[in-house]
A = this chain, B = another copy of it.
Amino acid sequence: MKLPALLRRGRRLRCLGIDDGPFERGSRRDVLVVGAIYSAGQFEGLLTTRVRQDGANATARLIEMIAGSKFAPQLHLVLLDGLTLGGFNVVDLPALAAAVGLPCAAVMRRRPDMARIARALANLPRGAARLATLERAGPVHRAGGIYYQCAGVEPDLAGRAIRANVVTGAVPECLRGAHLIAAGVVTGQSGRRA
């Protein structure tokens, strides 16, 4: 069943939330990326991959991770914690959505400061290409206290789907889980207090 019908009928969404683990700046090593699958607030499965810090392989690695998994046919929505992983490894949101055939959204707790991001990218190799990839994600939308960019889905629908995944606080449950797991695996202890 497609997202509009699921939301209309109040059916539970199976959502993949993606976040990266902490890493040391400047090391140019691979950074852990985890994808936590949640359905109706319950944790159901985990995918992992690695992306190069400040590299350019985030989109390809996410496509491999999602499309290559047995969970792919059961997913309704992919949420990212922002548009970059492992520093400035930028995700091409429309390319990701097209390749995995799923609505994808990058979620942020604050409106992103595009001028500041553009300046940071300009200092990196292939800065113009990174910025072009970032801009392909299109305009920033807002739903409640959450900002997002989306692809493969109407913005209003994406906003409703994101909010349907919030259980406690402002962050969708699948992103909360992905954040805790990535931090816990890399540092031995997840960052938030229980």
Q: Which residues on A are within 8 Å of B, measured CB to CB?
A: 14, 34, 37, 39, 41-49, 65, 69-71, 74-75, 167-168, 176-177, 180-181, 183-185, 188-190, 192-194
Contact = CB atoms under 8 A, between A and B. Distances in A.
Number of copies of chain A assembled together: 2
Contact of A181 (B74, B168, B181): B181
Contacts of A180: 43-46
A43, A65, A69, A180 interface centre (most CB from chain B within 10 Å): A43
Given A74-B194, A194-B14, A194-B71, A183 B46 contact: yes
A190 B185 CA distance: 15
A167 B190 CA distance: 23
Contacts of A181: 46, 181, 185
Given A42-B41, A194-B39, A194-B74, A47 B184 contact: yes
Contacts of A47: 184, 188-190
A37, A45, A188, A194 interface centre (most CB from chain B within 10 Å): A194
